Structure 1
Amino acid sequence: MEEPEPADGVAEEEEEASPARLLEHRFQQGFLAGQRLLHFPWQDLEKILKASGNSSLLLTILQKTVLHPLCLKYPPSVKYRRCFLSELIKKHEATGAEPLDELYEALGHVLNTEENAHGYKNYLLPTGEAITLGESVAIISRGTTGLVTWDAGLYLAEWALENHAIFTNRSILELGSGMGLTGIAICKACQPRRYTFSDHHPCVLQQLSENIRLNGLSPEPEVGSFSLAKCETQKANLTGFQGPKVTVADLDWNLATKEELAGLQADVVIAADVVYDPELTLSLIKVLQKLPCCPNGQKAPEVYIAFTIRNPDTYCCFQTELNKVGIRWQAVPSPQKNVFPYDQQAKITLLRLLI
């Protein structure tokens, strides 16, 4: 069998890419995923432009970002594209070079596009395959923070790609799936036997279900006695993709019973960015306490929780509450390779809970 060609923007490991090539990939990866503009390597871009006096790099970046087929089909918000193009134009003008019509044409098109409260993010896997997510453009929307993807979810997905054996041919339960990035990445790259996405906010469940459909996964009609989100079951046109059995559960942490959780038969339980509020933390621990108390001698699942430590007091509270109920934990080493664009300065930790 012939080896596949490297995907666009992904160089073979044994080849050393040029600084310009690496810069193109960083811009593409960050833009498609809706990375905050301040985290783009603008200074590196300006340095290369001034040193080379060649505008072709800007045109290549334009093709790999705003004019990329993924962006044209599943575009980021209008505001995001407008600000990105404006910054590209500033960097070009700083070199004193002749104006690039292509940049102004792209900006003009965006300015004539109607803004809405919904946009898309596209995350590139190491294979070059993309995960497409519809998300809210606001951090808090419809009374929930679950309509956007958070750094700890990207971190957990990145770790899962390096530790795929933990998930391969196993049944996975994700608590607080949000927009689905972590679970979709695991389903595409780690070959689990079954994957249960779960959340509780109705708007989150609706968008989560749509994101699963967008990525070629087809939810089953039922799972145990949980209420399931209504999902379209038609597979997207992803030729040859054979995913795991997937379900989407409306799971209230305060009302879930031991029997319901046992019915999911989870080998691994994961969650990302669910430790940021003391009240939510207590609800999370209620669920964790019910996991090992399964009938028929079922083995307790492995549990991994990733979260950004924004407030040390909240982290200490989580540890204190774990101690109270006798749940031990151990820190898990960070991923070795950065795959997804997120704030590398953020203090993100991953714990394995021993229940």
Structure 2
Amino acid sequence: MMDSDRQLDISIVKYLTKQFLCCTVMVKMNFMPLDGNMDYPFSLDIQKQILDSTINSDLIKQYPLKMSYQKAFLKLYMTKIEESGNEIHDDLYTAYCRLISLQDEESVHYRHFLIENGTLNCITLKESTNLISKGTTGLCSWQGAVVLSDWCAENIEQFHKKNILELGCGVGLTGMSIISVCSPKQYIFSDCHPTVLDMLCENVKLNFPLNKQHKLSNMCDKPLRLKLQLKYEQTDIQIIDLKWEDIDKYVTENFSQPDVIIAADILYESDSFDSLTLGLKHLLTSNNYAVFAATIRNEDTISQFLKHLVFFILGNHNLAFKECVAPKWTVLIQSINSPVRIFKIFRKI
């Protein structure tokens, strides 16, 4: 095999594996990387490589994706092979027979997000299999978190050696990506749902396991809102229980402001906009700013939030916002085909 062909095979395997590991929705699964006019190489060797890096990988055996997703992926892949007129590798049939013999009634599963140019090669997240569980949407990753992670990776200088506070962090995708790629000085995850905080603590400890480079702080005599604190590389990581209506108290207790406030997909419930905007008023100074990513499921909802900001601007609170350019391409982990907009919110000098 020529070196160029070998490199093409590696690229194809990596491209499809990345989509599989984070559970890209089937209708958005792209089997045609690079030149869309080329015939997808369904050689037996490539089929085996893809199977071994997805369904049969050690990562998936230890931290499995939702069983129904694995079945759907392999069925779709075999269909693509058949449509191309190629022979299906025997190991694919064996793997599919094994999968369909298993139950898929699990309440939790894992997603894996491959990271480029980070201290982690992959972020593994434990999540609920349901979009809404235990009265919250925070137990699974959402598209806004993926897009915001990619945007932060394109703007490393805005986060490197900075103190960052994330609002409504959910299971932790954006924060762990920023810690791995941008190496902030401090990263504070915040949420207020007890089950979300418990799962978030699990995910942080899973991705930043304790060793000689890590330090888990003694939780005795720590503030009640602090749920976990550890050191990873040069980053101080904290998980705190923080309601938006308590942000003013939090700022007073800590005597310091974060350099950057971030949030992904928290602008979906207009009843919360008053407390969120008031919280931003207490967090924002002339020396910092907030970056919000919002999946636009309902234009009216986003408009209501922006009107809240306009109200504060007219109320002489000197808040302003501008829209940032979103990444051109990112993996799609939800079936809804909605754009993600990124806003930078700041105080005018």
Measure the CA separation in 1 of the matches of 2:261 and 2:224.
17
Q: Would the aligned equivalents of 1:28 and 1:61 in 2 still touch at CA under 8 Å?
A: yes
Measure the CA separation in 2 of the matches of 1:119 and 1:352.
33
Counterpart residue number, 1:311:
298
Which amino acid is 1:25 matched to? K
Counterparts of residues 7-18 of structure 1 (less than 5 Å) = none
Match of 1:266 among 258, 274, 282: 258
Which segment drifts farther, 47-56 or 171-180?
A: 47-56
Match of 2:125 among 129, 133, 137: 133
**TM-score, normalised relative to structure 1:** 0.82
Counterpart residue number, 2:142:
150
Q: Does 1:58 align with 2:47?
A: yes
Q: Would the aligned equivalents of 1:258 and 1:291 in 2 still touch at CA under 8 Å?
A: no
Counterparts of residues 318-329 of structure 1 (less than 5 Å) = 318-326=305-313, 327-329=319-321
Counterparts of residues 219-238 of structure 1 (less than 5 Å) = 220=217, 221=219, 225=223, 227-229=225-227, 231=228
Unaligned 5+ runs, structure 1: 1-14, 236-240, 294-298
Q: Would the aligned equivalents of 1:222 and 1:247 in 2 still touch at CA under 8 Å?
A: no
Counterpart residue number, 1:124:
114
Q: Does 1:70 align with 2:59?
A: yes
Q: Would the aligned equivalents of 1:209 and 1:232 in 2 still touch at CA under 8 Å?
A: no
1:345/1:138 CA distance change after superposition, 3 Å: closer
Counterpart residue number, 1:4:
none
Q: Would the aligned equivalents of 1:222 and 1:228 in 2 still touch at CA under 8 Å?
A: no
Counterparts of residues 85-104 of structure 1 (less than 5 Å) = 85-104=74-93
**TM-score, normalised relative to structure 2:** 0.83
Q: Which secondary structure does the structure 1 equivalent of 2:238 belong to?
A: strand
Counterpart residue number, 2:212:
none
Match of 1:250 among 241, 254, 259: 241
Q: Which secondary structure does the structure 1 equivalent of 2:116 belong to?
A: coil
Which segment drifts farther, 245-254 or 93-102?
A: 93-102
1:262/1:42 CA distance change after superposition, 3 Å: same
Deviations 1:115-157 (A, max 9, x none): 3111111101113700110011111111111011111111111
Q: Does 1:349 align with 2:347?
A: no
Q: Would the aligned equivalents of 2:265 and 2:294 in 1 still touch at CA under 8 Å?
A: yes
Q: Would the aligned equivalents of 2:24 and 2:331 in 1 still touch at CA under 8 Å?
A: no
Unaligned 5+ runs, structure 2: 210-214, 314-318
Which amino acid is 2:111 matched to? K
Counterpart residue number, 1:6:
none
- Percent identity, aligned pairs only? 29
Which amino acid is 1:317 matched to? Q
Q: Which secondary structure does the structure 1 equivalent of 2:180 belong to?
A: helix
Q: Would the aligned equivalents of 1:261 and 1:290 in 2 still touch at CA under 8 Å?
A: no
Which amino acid is 2:246 matched to? L
Q: Does 1:332 align with 2:321?
A: no
Measure the CA separation in 1 of the matches of 2:77 and 2:86.
13
How big is the alpha-carbon RMSD for the aligned residues of Structure 1 and Structure 2?
3.1
Aligned length: 327
1:41, distance to aligned residue in structure 2 (A): 2.0
